[in-house]
Amino acid sequence: MTAVAIDANRLWERIEALSRITDPDRPWTRRSFSPLFLKGREWLANEFRTGGLATSIDAAGNLVGRLAGSDPNLKPIVIGSHSDTVPSGGRYDGILGVLAGLEVAQSLVERGDRLRHPLEIYDFLAEEPSEFGLSCIGSRALAGMFSASMRDLRRPDGMTLREGLAYVGGDPERLASVRRSPDGTAAYVEVHIEQGRVLEQEGTAIGIVTDIVGIHRERITVKGRADHAGATPMLLRADALVGAAHIVGTVYARALALADSDKPLVATVGKLDVLPNAANAVPGEVEMVLEVRCGDEAATRTFGKTLIEEVRPALEALRLEVQAETVSHASPTPCAPVVRDAIRAAASSLGLSSRDLPSGAGHDGVFVALTGPIGMIFVPCLDGRSHAPEESIEPHQAADGARVLFETVRRLDAILG
C-alpha cells in the first residue's frame, strides 16, 4: 500500500453537511427515533453508497457499510460511532467517528487498496440516552446485551422501543441475528472528540484512550401527595419536590467527596419529571434519573444504593416514599493494548504528538468490547466543550483523527489474524 492520503476537504464538507440536518430552533439537535434522525440517516446511507460501501440497516437499526477483504476467513475490522445527538448537543460528537470511518473506507476504494480483513463502518443506533431511557441501543444488540424486556420500554408519547426499532428500519423480532460472538470482531477503532480539556491545554494532537468509565443509571421516584398550593398548610404537606431537591444535593455532596480519589466518581441528576407540574399545586411525585460514572466497578454500582439508604430517614420525616430501580449499567472497559499500540505507532509515523488518557464519557465501544479488542482515538475540542451548542473542532483536527485512523487500520490489518 502507498502512503496515507485521505481527502480532508471531503471529510470536513460531510461533517458540515450532516451537522446541518438539525432542529433550527435547537442547534445541533438530531434525536434518535425522530424524523430528523431518519433524514440524517438517509443522507448518510447515500454517502456510504457513494463511498463504495455495501450498505444496509440491520435488525437493531444500525446503519452498516461494508468492504470485503481479500481473505474471507478473517473477522472484520470495525470502525464506528453514532449520528444521533443529545438535545441542543454538539456538531461533532459521534458524527466525526462515523464520517472518519467512511473517509478511510472510501480512500481505500479510490486508491485500489484492499485490506485482508473485511472493513465495516457502523452508525450505531441511539448511542446517546434516548427518550426510552436507554443508550447504546445498537451496540448493545451487537454484543447480545439487548434483553427482550427492553423492547417494551416506552417513551413519553407512548411509543414502545419495539415500535421505535421498526420506525428506523430495524426488526425487533430478529435482534438475535445481530449478535456477534465474543471473538467475532478482529478489532474496533473509533475517532471521537475528547470532550475534555487535556489535549487542548497540552497542545497534544492525539489522545490514546486507556479505558472507558463505567456508567450506571437509576430511576428514582419520590412519592408524596399532590395538594392545593394555597389551601394546604406547610406543616401538612408531603411535597415530593422538596424530597427530590434533598436527593440532588446529597448526590452532589457525596460525589464531590470522591473527586480526589484514584478513580474519581461523578454523579448527575440531569432529568426530572414533576407531577402535576403546576404553579398552584404541591408536587405529588417526582421521577428523576441518577447517572453515576467511575472507573471503579463497585463504586459505580453501589453509589445509588447507599444514597437511598442515606436519604430515606429525611424523606420519611417529610412523609415521602422513595424507590429506585436500575435503568442501565455498563461496566468500566479497558482498551486493548494491541489497538492502543497501533494508534501510538500510527500517530508517530505521521509526526503527530500523542498521549494516553482515560475517557470520562461512555461510548459504543463499551459493548463492542464484548466482541473483540477495542481502541479509541481522541482529538482536541475547543475548551473541552461537548453536549452543548458551543462544541467545536478545527478541520485539521478532524483530518488528523482520520489520518491516524487510516494508518491504525492498516497496521491492525497487517498484524491481526
Residue 59 lies in a domain: yes
Residue 1 lies in a domain: no
Residues 134 and 273 in one domain: no
Residues 91 and 42 in one domain: yes
Going by DSSP bridges, is the β-strand pair 214-223/119-123 parallel, antiparallel, or unpaired? Answer: unpaired
Last residue of a domain, one of 314, 330, 346: 330
pLDDT at 2 over 50: no
Last residue of a domain, one of 330, 363, 378: 330
- Say what percent of the chain tops pLDDT 90: 94
- Say what percent of the chain tops pLDDT 70: 99
190 is in an annotated binding site: no
**Confidence label for 162 from pLDDT (cuts 50, 70 and 90):** very high
Residue 185 lies in a domain: yes
Q: Convert the pLDDT of each residue in 232-258 to its tens digit.
A: 999 999 999 999 999 999 999 999 999
293 is in an annotated binding site: yes
Residue 2 lies in a domain: no
Say what the pLDDT of residue 260 is: 82
Residues 196 and 318 in one domain: no
93 is in an annotated binding site: yes
Residue 344 lies in a domain: yes
Residue 3 lies in a domain: no
Residues 226 and 158 in one domain: no
Residues 234 and 159 in one domain: no
Residues 241 and 324 in one domain: yes
Residue 347 lies in a domain: yes
Residues 81 and 66 in one domain: yes
What does the alpha-carbon distance between residue 402 and residue 135 come to, in Å, rounded to a whole number?
25
Burial 331-340, CB ≥16 within 10 A → b, else e? ebbebbeebb
pLDDT at 1 over 70: no
Residue 204 lies in a domain: yes
192 is in an annotated binding site: yes
Q: Convert the pLDDT of each residue in 297-322 to its tens digit.
A: 999 999 999 999 999 999 999 999 99
| Mean pLDDT, range 144-165, rounded to an integer | 97
- The HSE-up count of residue 132 (CA atoms within 13 Å, CB side) is 25
Residues 367 and 410 in one domain: yes
* CATH number reported for the structural domain that contains residue 224 in this entry: 3.30.70.360
First and final C-alpha spacing in the chain: 19
**Confidence label for 263 from pLDDT (cuts 50, 70 and 90):** confident
Please report, for residues 12, 95, 346, 382, the alpha-carbon distance to residue 394 in angstroms, rounded to integers and kept in the order given. Answer: 9, 14, 20, 9
* CATH number reported for the structural domain that contains residue 344 in this entry: 3.40.630.10
Residues 277 and 307 in one domain: yes
82 is in an annotated binding site: yes
Cis? peptide before 276, omega within 30° of 0: yes
396 is in an annotated binding site: no
> What is the value of pTM for the model shown?
0.84
Q: What angle do CA 178, 181, 187 make, to 5 degrees?
A: 95
Domain of residue 52: give its range.
8-212+332-415
Residues 48 and 156 in one domain: yes
Last residue of a domain, one of 298, 314, 330: 330
Residues 374 and 292 in one domain: no
Residues 181 and 281 in one domain: no
Give the chain's domain count.
2
